[in-house]
Amino acid sequence: MERIQWDEYFMAQSHLLALRSTCKRLSVGATIIKDNRIIAGGYNGSVAGEVHCTDEQCLLEDGHCIRTIHAEMNALLQCAKQGVSTDGATIYVTHFPCVNCTKSIIQAGIKTIYYARDYHNHAYAIKLLDQSGVKYERVPFDPQRIANYILDTQ
């Protein structure tokens, strides 16, 4: 059996991270890559020490959960906390990033976004990506293929 491709590997990592999500509305995972090495990962969840949406409920304001830090932001903040540069990096995300995450990704110097699913792909986020030269691409992800691969190699 052939090895899985890099895109599948990193996107699978993002999907695994999404399983740690504590938001009831949407589970998202993000993996930041540099030189084909994982430098950070994140999932959407509450601030450390705060209750989680899964423990109580989402804290909604204008239709958005304000309790939750998005997966992309958690991954970027992990890099900042550890002093790891994201300049020229790539991010794999389970869903297309929101406008605020898109702005942060651009400002962090990330050059490529790969995402598995469209999710409220905001026109302004797309405009910002296009004008900043950040490449973004939806890549197919088949979790069943990964599961079958794992089962076949055991």
Q: Is 61 a catalytic residue?
A: no
User: How does strand 112-117 pair with strand 135-138?
Assistant: parallel
CA neighbours closer than 13 Å in the CB half-sphere of residue 75: 35
- Determine which helix (DSSP H) or strand (DSSP E) holds 129, and give its type and residue range: helix 123-132
Count of C-beta atoms within a 10 Å radius of residue 113? 24
Specify burial of residue 24 (Cβ count, 10 A radius: 0-12, 13-18, 19+). middle
How far is Cα 79 from Cα 31, in angstroms, rounded to an integer?
Answer: 11
**3 state DSSP class of 64:** strand
Among residues 2, 50, 72, 137, the one annotated as catalytic is 72
Please provide residue 135's backbone torsions phi and psi, each rounded to the nearest 5 degrees: -75, 140
Which residues lie across from 92 on neighbouring strands?
31, 114
Active site residues: 72
